[in-house]
Amino acid sequence: MPKHKDRSGGQGHARPPLRREHSQGAAPPLQDAARAAASGSATPQMLTALQHGIGNAAVARMASGEQGKPKARQESPQARANKEFATKVQQKLRERGWVVEGSPATWGRMTAHKVSLPAGADTAGLKSGAAAYKAAPGNVVAPHSYRSEPEKQALRWIASITMKHLNAMRKPPVEVQAALHAGALYIAANTKDANEALKGLADGRTGKEFLDRLIKDNPADQAQLALYTGRVDRHTEKARTRLVGPPTSEYAPVFEALGKPVVVAAAGTDGRHAERRIAELAGETPQYIAGTKRPCVSCYMKLFSGTPDRPGPFWLSGAANQGVEEHESKDVDRLVALIDEEIGNTYATLKWQCVDKCDGEAEAGPGPSKKRRTTPLGSTVDYGSDSDSDTEGTVRTFRA
């Protein structure tokens, strides 16, 4: 029996269904219904079609105008508690005359500064640390000599060199601190990645081998050389000429430590401040400890209270306040009373800049021939006090 031939000329195939345009009684296409729902002009028939096609919840969102709008990020209970805590601390500190910078919404980056203003002035209109220190020049530390503190001087050089190397490795440490303890060199950074990198650099090496490697292993490209100019370049040169060569009596405790394996204080959660890591591993605050930044308020209270050290700002973050009971329990009144009574003032470092032509000269290195006139340029909390020689023709490129 011959096969039936359809109208299209093919054999044995079912006739394709005819396209049917929707009429008054037919269900509308979903696309048309969705557009109408989104604009608020959907008929009951359209809504019924959508309910069958995409569900009641989606239709409700379209009808309310929510369709296509990004969902608001839900704030976790912990984030909400941190924000409320930061807001209260901010208010209480300002009532006591502190200058608080930052927003409680990003509380981990908030800082607080306590300065001594001239008679008749107040902090009410000051909104940042920079403004506070500009209004209170007595809280800005000018360069001074470290010649009477050779151990601390050497540790500053070692910390600066280590920091520049970690930055070149793209393992930003935030800060580096170094110490002499039990005849050995202790060193630490703030971040987990930087401390892991430090462990690799120090692996089995004496302090001298560690330092010699960092000094010799300079970056090859110009982009990275920017990290090696100015203040840090001088620290590198001083360490090379005074610490890597034959021992001298001036730096006797340092040379003793450089002859032993380096101790990296890597333990602790990410963000824990470097000097706290060192003190915890040592079991006490070492007699000689110095680094790239002055201690924050919390580190000062824990490690340096009553010493000549000048604290930097109070950081509100949880990382900066590990072990501070009043902060961990979020006891606002006790925390604010503690830091306000313990801290007389916070301090920043005086910045300097070239006033003569400096372009293309910064990479040339230190030395009498490279001295240039300098002038004060504001303040910074990114690094600790300069030595007097750090102001000799430097362009500030060191950054935490």
Distance in angstroms (rounded) separating the CA atoms of residues 390 and 386: 6
41 and 151 both lie in a single domain: no
CB-based contacts of 273, cutoff 8 Å, min separation 6: 175, 177, 190, 296, 298, 299, 319, 320
In a domain, 55, yes or no: yes
Pairing type for strands 288-291 and 263-264 reads unpaired
Domain end marker among 234, 264, 291: 291
Please report how the helices 44-54 and 30-39 are oriented relative to each other, as an axis angle in degrees rounded to 10. 120
Quick check: 227 and 164 in contact, CB under 8 A? yes
Of 325, 309, 234, residue with least CA distance to 275: 309
Taking the model in full, what pTM does it have?
0.73
Q: What is the DSSP letter of 352?
A: E
What pLDDT score was predicted for residue 99?
A: 97
57 and 148 both lie in a single domain: no
How many domains in the chain?
Answer: 2
**Angle CA(223)–CA(159)–CA(221) in degrees, nearest 5?**
15
Distance in angstroms (rounded) separating the CA atoms of residues 156 and 177: 8
How many CA atoms within 13 Å lie on the side-chain side of 294? 22
Distance in angstroms (rounded) separating the CA atoms of residues 278 and 120: 43
155 and 60 both lie in a single domain: no
Which of 146-155, 222-231, 331-340 is the least confident region? 222-231
58 and 190 both lie in a single domain: no
Which of 62-66, 246-250, 283-287, 327-331 is the least confident region? 62-66
Q: Give the structural domain span for 197.
A: 141-291
Distance in angstroms (rounded) separating the CA atoms of residues 390 and 238: 11
**In which order are the strands placed within the sheet that holds 140-141?**
140-141, 348-354, 374-380
Domain end marker among 44, 64, 84: 64
- The torsion region of residue 55 among left (phi > 0), alpha (psi -120 to 50) and beta comes to left
41 and 172 both lie in a single domain: no
Q: What is the DSSP letter of 206?
A: B
CB-based contacts of 291, cutoff 8 Å, min separation 6: 155, 156, 159, 175, 176, 177, 178, 274, 275, 384
Q: What is the pLDDT of residues 286-305, one digit of tens each?
A: 999 999 999 999 999 999 99
Distance in angstroms (rounded) separating the CA atoms of residues 190 and 80: 26
274 pLDDT more than 60: yes
What pLDDT score was predicted for residue 113?
A: 97
Q: What is the DSSP letter of 385?
A: P
Q: What is the pLDDT of residues 19-38, one digit of tens each?
A: 444 444 454 566 676 666 66
40 and 155 both lie in a single domain: no
277 and 154 both lie in a single domain: yes
